[in-house]
C-alpha cells in the first residue's frame, strides 16, 4: 500500500530547477513528519508527485494518523491512496476499473483520462475508449462528456502494473515549509492570531511564536496549548520557538502614564518595538499579526501606520481584509476555534474613548513620560521554549480558591473586597458592599502590593466581568498567596 502526493499547482508552474528544489524540500518535510510514527515508511520524490510507502503490517490507527498528517503537510495538493495490480490485457484492466467507478459515474457525465508508461500493444487512446465503453455498459444512465465532465475517471498504467486510486484526500496546498524564510507571529490565543500564523505556515514560512503575557500563568497556559496544536498539526517537520514576554509591567506603565484615548495604540506600538528587537536578535526578518482593518480601534489604517512606525521590521497582516466571520470559520477549519471559545479576553488597556485616528505628535506626547527601561526589562526577561517541549514546560496553578466566589460565611469583617478596576471605571460605577471592607487597588498595582497585605484574612477581587479578577487571583496563587479569591457581581445581589 502506498500514497501519492500531488504537488501544489504553485510548485508545478515553477522552473525546472526551482521545482526540483521544492520537491526535495517537500520530501524531506514529509519524512520528518512521518518518521516518529513508523521508521519503515518510505518517501520518494518524483517529477510531479511524491510516493509514500507504508509497511503492510501497519495497523488501522497508524494508517489514519499517517493520512491525517499527509493532508496537513504544506505543499501537497492532494493525497491519493493507491494500490497496484497485475493485468494481462484491456479486458483485465476494465475488470479492475469498472467496479471502482461504476457507482461514482451513475447518472453523471464522465470522461476517462489514461496515462501509460512502458511498452504495450495498445495506446492511451485505445485504453480510454475501451474503458469508456465498459463503464457505459455497467452504468447505462451515465454518459460520456469529453469537454465538461462531472467525473474524471483517471487510470494509470506503469509497465505491466495497473495503478488504481482508491481514495482522493484534499491536501493543504501552498509551499513546502521552510522555503520562504522565517517569520515571528504574535499570538494571543483568540481567533485571529492562530489563523494568521496558519496562513503563513501554509505559504511555506517557518513561523515562530511570540506571546505577550498580560494575564499570568493561566493566560500563558492557554496560549501554549493553541501554539502546540498549530505546530503539531501543520509544522511538525520543523522545530520552532515559543517566546513568552511578561508584559504586565508595560501595561501598568501605560495605565499610569498614557492618556486614555491613546492607550490601545501605544500598547500595540510597545509590542511592535519588543517584537522587532526580539526578532532581530533571532535573525528573523518579519513579524506577523492577526490585525484586520477596523476590527478594533487600534486597527484603523491610520493607527496601523503608527504601529508600523514603531517596528524596525515589516509587519505582515495576512487577515487584513477579512471580516470576523471569515476568520472564525477558518479557525474552525484548522481546529483552533475551540481554544478561542474558552480563552478569556486578557486586555488591561481598554480605552473608554479610543482615538481611531491618532496623530504622530499625539503619540509622541503620549509616550514622552513612558519609562522605556521597563520595556527593556521585560524583553530581557523573555523566556524561549522549543515547540516540541511546550507540554513539558507548562506551569501549573496551585490551590483552588482562585476560582471561587466569596463564601457567605466570609461576608463579615474578616473579609476584604479589593476593587481592582482602574480609577475611571470605579468612578463611573462605584462598588457598594452590604458587609465587609472595600479596598481600591488597580489590577496593575495588585501584584506588587498584595504581599504587603496581612495574610490572616481573606481577600476577594472584583472587576466588572470577573475575568481580570480570576486571572489576577490565579497569578497570586501561583506565587503562594492562596488567601485571594474572586468576588463576582452576582454576590452583590
Annotated active-site residue 463? The verdict is: yes
pLDDT at 344: 66
Cα separation, 199 vs 407, whole angstroms: 47
pLDDT at 276: 98
pLDDT at 425: 78
CB neighbours of residue 96 within 10 Å: 15
Cα separation, 434 vs 412, whole angstroms: 9
pLDDT at 346: 60
pLDDT at 275: 98
pLDDT at 493: 43
- Beta-bridge partners for 458: 415
Residues annotated within a binding site for ATP:
186-187, 268, 290, 299
Cα separation, 415 vs 490, whole angstroms: 17
pLDDT at 364: 94
Cα separation, 406 vs 415, whole angstroms: 9
Instruction: List per-block mean pLDDT (blocks of 10 residues) for the chain, which spans 493 residues.
Output: 91 93 96 91 90 90 95 95 90 93 93 92 94 95 94 90 89 95 94 97 97 84 94 95 93 87 92 98 97 89 95 97 95 94 66 81 94 96 94 51 43 71 81 84 84 88 78 80 77 45
Cell of 293: 482593518
Q: For residue 204, give the nearest of 237, 158, 252 by alpha carbon.
A: 237
Which positions ≥6 away from 180 have C-beta within 8 Å?
203, 204, 205
Cα separation, 124 vs 115, whole angstroms: 6
Cell of 353: 474613548
pLDDT at 408: 36
Report which DSSP code applies to 300.
S
pLDDT at 373: 96
* Domains parsed from the chain with CATH numbers: 2-170 (3.30.2130.30), 182-389 (3.40.50.620), 401-492 (3.40.250.10)
Alpha-carbon torsion 188, 193, 195, 201, what sign?
A: negative
pLDDT at 352: 67
Which positions ≥6 away from 374 have C-beta within 8 Å?
249, 250, 253
C-beta separation of 198 from 335 below 8 A: no
Cα separation, 139 vs 256, whole angstroms: 77
Q: For residue 205, give the nearest of 173, 177, 245, 163 by alpha carbon.
A: 177
Cα separation, 472 vs 39, whole angstroms: 47
pLDDT at 63: 93
Amino acid at each position: 500500500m502506498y500514497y501519492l502526493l500531488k504537488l501544489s499547482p504553485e510548485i508545478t508552474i515553477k522552473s525546472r530547477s526551482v521545482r526540483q528544489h521544492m520537491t526535495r524540500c517537500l520530501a524531506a518535510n514529509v519524512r520528518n513528519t512521518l518518521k516518529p510514527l513508523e521508521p519503515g515508511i518510505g518517501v520518494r520524490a518524483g517529477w510531479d508527485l511524491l510516493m509514500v510507502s507504508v509497511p503492510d503490517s501497519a495497523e488501522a490507527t497508524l494508517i489514519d494518523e499517517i493520512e491525517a498528517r499527509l493532508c496537513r503537510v504544506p505543499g501537497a495538493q492532494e493525497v491519493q491512496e493507491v494500490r497496484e495490480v497485475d493485468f494481462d490485457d484491456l479486458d483485465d484492466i476494465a475488470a479492475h476499473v469498472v467496479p471502482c467507478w461504476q457507482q461514482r459515474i451513475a447518472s453523471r457525465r464522465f470522461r476517462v483520462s489514461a496515462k501509460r508508461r512502458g511498452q504495450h500493444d495498445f495506446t492511451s487512446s485505445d485504453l480510454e475508449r475501451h474503458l469508456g465503453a465498459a463503464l457505459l455498459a455497467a452504468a447505462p444512465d451515465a454518459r460520456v462528456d469529453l469537454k465538461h465532465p462531472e467525473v474524471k475517471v483517471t487510470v494509470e498504467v506503469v509497465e505491466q502494473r495497473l495503478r488504481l486510486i482508491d481514495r482522493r484526500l484534499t491536501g493543504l496546498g501552498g509551499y513546502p515549509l521552510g522555503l520562504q524564510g522565517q517569520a515571528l507571529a504574535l499570538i494571543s490565543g483568540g481567533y485571529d492570531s492562530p489563523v494568521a500564523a496558519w496562513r503563513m505556515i501554509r505559504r511555506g514560512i517557518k513561523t515562530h511564536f511570540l506571546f505577550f503575557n498580560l494575564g499570568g500563568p493561566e493566560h500563558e497556559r492557554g496560549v501554549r496549548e493553541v501554539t502546540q496544536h498549530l505546530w503539531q498539526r501543520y509544522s511538525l517537520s520543523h522545530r520552532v520557538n515559543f517566546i513568552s514576554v511578561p508584559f504586565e509591567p508595560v501595561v501598568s506603565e501605560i495605565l499610569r502614564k498614557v492618556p486614555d484615548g491613546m492607550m490601545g495604540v501605544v500598547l500595540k506600538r510597545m509590542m511592535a518595538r519588543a517584537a522587532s528587537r526580539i526578532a532581530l536578535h533571532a535573525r528573523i526578518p518579519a513579524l506577523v499579526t492577526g490585525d484586520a482593518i477596523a476590527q478594533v480601534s487600534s486597527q484603523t489604517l491610520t493607527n496601523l501606520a503608527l504601529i508600523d512606525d514603531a517596528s524596525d521590521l515589516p509587519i505582515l497582516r495576512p487577515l487584513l481584509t477579512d471580516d470576523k466571520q471569515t476568520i472564525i470559520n477558518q479557525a474552525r477549519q484548522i481546529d483552533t476555534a475551540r481554544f478561542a471559545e474558552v480563552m478569556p479576553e486578557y486586555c488591561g488597556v481598554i480605552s473608554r474613548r479610543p482615538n481611531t485616528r491618532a496623530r504622530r505628535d499625539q503619540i509622541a506626547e503620549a509616550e514622552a513620560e513612558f519609562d522605556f527601561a521597563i520595556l527593556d526589562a521585560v524583553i530581557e526577561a523573555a523566556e524561549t521554549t522549543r515547540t516540541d517541549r511546550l507540554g513539558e514546560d507548562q506551569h501549573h496553578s496551585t490551590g483552588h480558591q482562585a476560582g471561587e466566589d466569596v463564601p457567605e460565611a466570609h461576608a463579615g469583617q474578616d473579609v476584604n473586597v479589593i476593587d481592582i478596576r482602574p480609577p475611571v471605571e470605579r468612578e463611573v460605577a462605584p462598588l457598594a458592599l452590604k458587609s465587609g471592607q472595600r479596598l481600591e487597588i488597580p489590577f496593575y498595582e495588585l501584584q506588587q502590593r498584595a504581599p504587603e497585605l496581612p495574610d490572616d484574612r481573606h481577600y476577594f477581587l472584583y472587576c466588572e466581568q470577573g475575568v481580570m479578577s480570576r486571572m489576577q487571583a490565579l497569578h497570586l496563587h501561583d506565587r503562594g498567596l492562596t488567601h485571594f479569591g474572586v468576588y463576582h457581581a452576582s454576590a452583590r445581589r
